[in-house]
A and B are shown apart, each in its own frame.
Chain A
Amino acid sequence: MNRLPIALALSIVLAGSALGGDNWPQWRGPSLNGTSDSTGLPEKWSETENVKWKVKLPSWSGATPAIWGDRIFVTSGSELVEGSKASTTKKMGGDRIPEGKDLLFLCLSKKDGSELWRQKIEGANAHWGKQNMSSPSPITDGKMVWWLTGTGILSGYTVEGKEVWRTDLQKAYVKFGINWGYGASALLYEGMLIVPILHGWDNTGPSYVVALDAATGKEIWKNERKTDAQKEGPDAYTTPMVMKYADRTEIIIVGGDYFTGHDPKTGQEIWRCGGLNLKQDKFYRAVCSPAVVGELVFACIKQGPFVGVKGGGKGLVTESHIAWSNKFGCDVPTPVSDGKHLFVLNDGGFMSCYDPATGKAYYERQRLPGGGTFDASPLLAEGRIYCTNEKGNTVVIAAGPEFKVLSENPLNDQWTLSSIAVSGSQLFIRTSSHLYCIGK
């Protein structure tokens, strides 16, 4: 109960920062929806144009950097040391870029990318298919910074790099049993770290959603999240999001074939909605996170359907609360919206734009130029959508009801998975080898 004042203070800090546009505290940014109110952002860049600086990173990662003030936080595998490789647990689509066997947590200077401090967990890295054990994105509130690994080590540091607490989620809750390795990011909300453990592939135990006190690492609540999904269906790589009503908020989680809405104070499930897996496919692992637009939330598992759900329900609301759905799935990238238009990027590089309220398609399945596979979630800022593919090419389109390509911005890369972070009027793009600061 004495947590509340701290939480309030924190939310004020967050609100303040969101207006400034300087900080990118967690994966989907200050507004938790992949949008930024920054201005003066570059619309065009390349290796030789509008690159303020770039620094080599120890290894590739699916994580998005977190930024506060002058500090940038980056999770990573370690550098490949001659003769030692990360143990490859599972692979998909051939060999990835070789990397080291340790996990790193880096703090870099926003001015020039120089390293301010680093933490290391030895021998914890492995790559599983498209990801290694550094996929969860770091989170910061400007005072502390939190590092979650794919092996379930969650620790809190001061932004100066001093460890405050550390916990092992696999020991505290359940052994991870997820087909491609744990990759969800936690959500920082009102002084709590909300961590989803949604899995089932290896039958190691139930799925949970837990909330820890961000300051101390102590458990605030823990809720089993039930699912009747089978086989790979309970596995989720999704991050919780927040839905705000006039009088309350809910934490929204997607995975195990359902959307669920939870009371942030207790974690208790208020509603759940199916409709995500009409085929009853046993391999419907969830990758894209819920996209909240007002009191609507959108998500999709694998090839679809793409589903929009009205919040505010109680109990099982599959019959009553699906606002609309269509058959074109997006699988990996999380959709983004300015409130009037919902942009759904499919991992194959097709963009669709809908009216979020009605599902009316302004346009559907427009192919982004340059092709490639899209894992990063799009960024919406200054009336533009930034879409980065695995090769590090960012296509910028107009955030309007007509499909209009504004620019194509290549960087030399093969394996970009991270979403773009924004600070001030600069974009921070993490490719497999480098972190770029892009600015005019």
Chain B
Amino acid sequence: MNRAPLAVAGLILLLAASPSRGDDWPMLGGRPDRNLVCAEKGLPVAFEAEKQQKNVKWAVNLGKTTYGTPAVAGGRVFVGTNNEQPRDPALKGDKGVLMCFAEADGKFLWQAVHAKLETGELEDAAFIGLCSTPCIAGDRLYYVSNRAELICCSAQDGKPVWTLDFRKELGVSPHQGSASSPLVVGDLVYVVTGHGSDFKKHKVLNPKAPSFVAVNRSTGKLVWQDSSPGDRIFAGQWGSPSYGVVEGKAQVAFPGGDGWLYAFEPETGKLLWKFNCKAHEKLDKDGFPETPNQLVATPVYAGHRVIIATGIDTDTNGPGCLRAIDARKSGDVTRTAELWKLAGEEFACSISTVAVHEGLVYAVQFPGMFDCIDLETGKRIWQHDMLSTAFGSPLVADGKAYVRNGDGEVLVFQTGREKKLLAKNAGLPGVENGSVVAANGVLFVAGRNKLYALAETK
């Protein structure tokens, strides 16, 4: 109970003491609203690591597959990867690995290594590594392992504090992978369990198992659970929750593998509203929806709005939908809360999270379009064709929007209603698709087998 105020107080003190140092990036999206905007200044616009080194502060090897984004807190950088370039030669074979590095120089500090699930490909696909982006709160670190466990450990040395095994304790069965990134607010940890349909039988075998949970962050005890997607989960559930305060009331939104977005009262798990993000899709004569899209992106709270795109993990260039939902209503708000949408030919499928900044939404479409959209009206202001498929998410910082494409190129735009490309950085070796995050004046780019820290060198 008293930890939250302490942590907040600590953070304020820290910020007050070193105003030039900037902020940590302690979770997916940086903050609980998951809006990909930060207050960092002086970030590099141009960098290079292939022919020459330019603005590369440090670079380290990861495994060979890295789906998570880095989280940065307390002088450490954390990132999930696999074990294909083992840090510990004694630990051989395929594993899920969380690595921790020193923020200052990239020195390897510790790793948490998880065996693959005995059920194999069906629940824990080969070599996907550890996909969850950790959340750091104080001296504790929270993440979901490749074994569908929510783990709380010491951020300092990775020593486990408690573990909640979704499979064993809650009857959850992930579909090919567990990937949710926890969210800590107050005393609770919120996370999607990753419950899914059976990979072979194509149905949810245990529809009562929870999809969404809130867990006491100190004890690991379940506070509430919800199984709303039930037997309607198409495949897996790889999304992550976000937290917003709307008209003075807190809510936490969970993206469902059934294509619905669910918002709950954070403390109790009482449903506040739900929205069918596939409502615009036509059903065929057998009742199948037009696309396999669901919610993989993370919802973003921006004032009274929640913004989220529909998409799916596999290579698809099909139609998607980006929506702004009014988060002030209650019940099934599918028909009443849509503020605007871009769908069909207007917006392809996307698993990227948006950045909302000064009345503009920056969004990535899987086929490689980067869009700037008016937050009020949903009108597209400008678009840039990155000429490469993309599933990373943008970052807005210091008046710039950073976005990465499938060739690992990082494009940097000036924010605002006028399109201005400031730089197109060649792909950093070893990274392709993914996001860019920033903390304490440094950009962090993690990809397939490398993690880079990029900063202006004087």
Which chain A residues have a beta carbon within 8 Å of chain B's beta carbons?
88, 91-95, 97-98, 231, 279-283, 303, 327-328, 347-350, 365, 367, 371-373, 390
Q: Mark B372-402, 1 if CB is under 8 A from A, else 0.
A: 0000000000000101110000000000000
> Is B169 interfacial (CB-CB < 8 Å)?
no
Is the Cβ of A367 less than 8 Å from the Cβ of B387? yes
C-alpha spacing A347/B314, complex, angstroms: 13
Partner of B312, one of A93, A347, A371, A372: A93
Is the Cβ of B315 less than 8 Å from the Cβ of A367? no
Is the Cβ of B314 less than 8 Å from the Cβ of A280? no
C-alpha spacing A371/B318, complex, angstroms: 8
Partner of B286, one of A98, A281, A283: A98
Partner of B126, one of A97, A282, A349, A390: A282
> Is B70 interfacial (CB-CB < 8 Å)?
no
> Is B406 interfacial (CB-CB < 8 Å)?
yes
Partner of A282, one of B127, B202, B385: B127
Partner of B387, one of A92, A280, A365: A365
C-alpha spacing A63/B235, complex, angstroms: 27
C-alpha spacing A252/B432, complex, angstroms: 30
The 5 closest A-B CB pairs, nearest first, are A94-B292, A373-B317, A365-B387, A93-B292, A93-B314
C-alpha spacing A92/B236, complex, angstroms: 12
C-alpha spacing A365/B293, complex, angstroms: 26
Partner of A348, one of B289, B291, B367, B427: B367
Closest to B390 in A: A348
> Is B368 interfacial (CB-CB < 8 Å)?
yes
Residues of B within 8 A of A98 (CB): 286, 288
Is the Cβ of A349 less than 8 Å from the Cβ of B406? no
Partner of B288, one of A92, A95, A349: A95
Is the Cβ of A348 less than 8 Å from the Cβ of B368? yes
Is the Cβ of B64 less than 8 Å from the Cβ of A372? no
Which chain B residues have a beta carbon within 8 Å of chain A's beta carbons?
64, 126-127, 202, 234-235, 284, 286, 288-289, 291-293, 312, 314-318, 348, 367-368, 385, 387-389, 406-407, 427, 432, 448-449
C-alpha spacing A98/B385, complex, angstroms: 35
Closest to B406 in A: A303
Partner of A371, one of B314, B367, B449: B367
Residues of A within 8 A of B448 (CB): 279
Residues of A within 8 A of B127 (CB): 231, 282-283
Residues of A within 8 A of B235 (CB): 94
Selected A-B contacts with CB under 8 Å, 11 pairs? A93-B316, A94-B289, A94-B312, A95-B288, A95-B292, A98-B286, A303-B432, A327-B427, A348-B368, A367-B385, A372-B317
C-alpha spacing A280/B85, complex, angstroms: 12
C-alpha spacing A95/B432, complex, angstroms: 29
Closest CB in chain A relative to B364 CB, distance in Å: 14
Is the Cβ of B64 less than 8 Å from the Cβ of A373? no
Is the Cβ of B64 less than 8 Å from the Cβ of A279? yes
C-alpha spacing A350/B405, complex, angstroms: 14
Closest to B349 in A: A93
Residue of A93, A365, A371 most packed against chain B (CB within 10 A): A93
Is the Cβ of B315 less than 8 Å from the Cβ of A347? yes
Is the Cβ of B407 less than 8 Å from the Cβ of A327? yes
C-alpha spacing A280/B312, complex, angstroms: 26
Closest to B65 in A: A281
- Knowing that A348-B389, A371-B317, A390-B318 touch, tell me 13 more A-B residue pairs with CB under 8 angstroms: A91-B202, A93-B312, A93-B316, A94-B234, A94-B292, A97-B284, A98-B288, A231-B127, A303-B406, A327-B427, A349-B317, A350-B388, A367-B387
Is the Cβ of A350 less than 8 Å from the Cβ of B387? yes
Residues of B within 8 A of A279 (CB): 64, 448-449
Residues of A within 8 A of B427 (CB): 327
Residue of B288, B292, B312, B315 most packed against chain A (CB within 10 A): B315
Is the Cβ of A328 less than 8 Å from the Cβ of B407? yes
Closest to A281 in B: B64
Residues of B within 8 A of A282 (CB): 126-127
Residues of B within 8 A of A365 (CB): 387-388
Closest CB in chain A relative to B122 CB, distance in Å: 11
C-alpha spacing A258/B15, complex, angstroms: 55
Closest to A370 in B: B345
Closest CB in chain B relative to A371 CB, distance in Å: 6
Closest to A302 in B: B315
Closest CB in chain A relative to B348 CB, distance in Å: 7
Residues of B within 8 A of A349 (CB): 317, 367
C-alpha spacing A281/B291, complex, angstroms: 29
Closest CB in chain A relative to B93 CB, distance in Å: 12
Partner of B316, one of A327, A328, A373: A373
Residues of A within 8 A of B385 (CB): 367
Q: Known contacts A91-B202, A281-B64: does B318 contact A373 (CB below 8 Å)?
A: yes
Closest CB in chain B relative to A306 CB, distance in Å: 13
Closest CB in chain B relative to A242 CB, distance in Å: 30
Residues of B within 8 A of A97 (CB): 284
Closest to B448 in A: A279
Residues of A within 8 A of B406 (CB): 303
Closest to A98 in B: B286
C-alpha spacing A328/B407, complex, angstroms: 8
Closest to B427 in A: A327
Residues of A within 8 A of B317 (CB): 348-349, 371-373
Residues of B within 8 A of A94 (CB): 234-235, 288-289, 291-293, 312
C-alpha spacing A357/B132, complex, angstroms: 45
Residue of A283, A327, A348 most packed against chain B (CB within 10 A): A348
Closest to A350 in B: B387
C-alpha spacing A303/B289, complex, angstroms: 29
C-alpha spacing A94/B284, complex, angstroms: 13
Residues of B within 8 A of A93 (CB): 292, 312, 314, 316
Closest to B127 in A: A282
Residues of A within 8 A of B291 (CB): 94
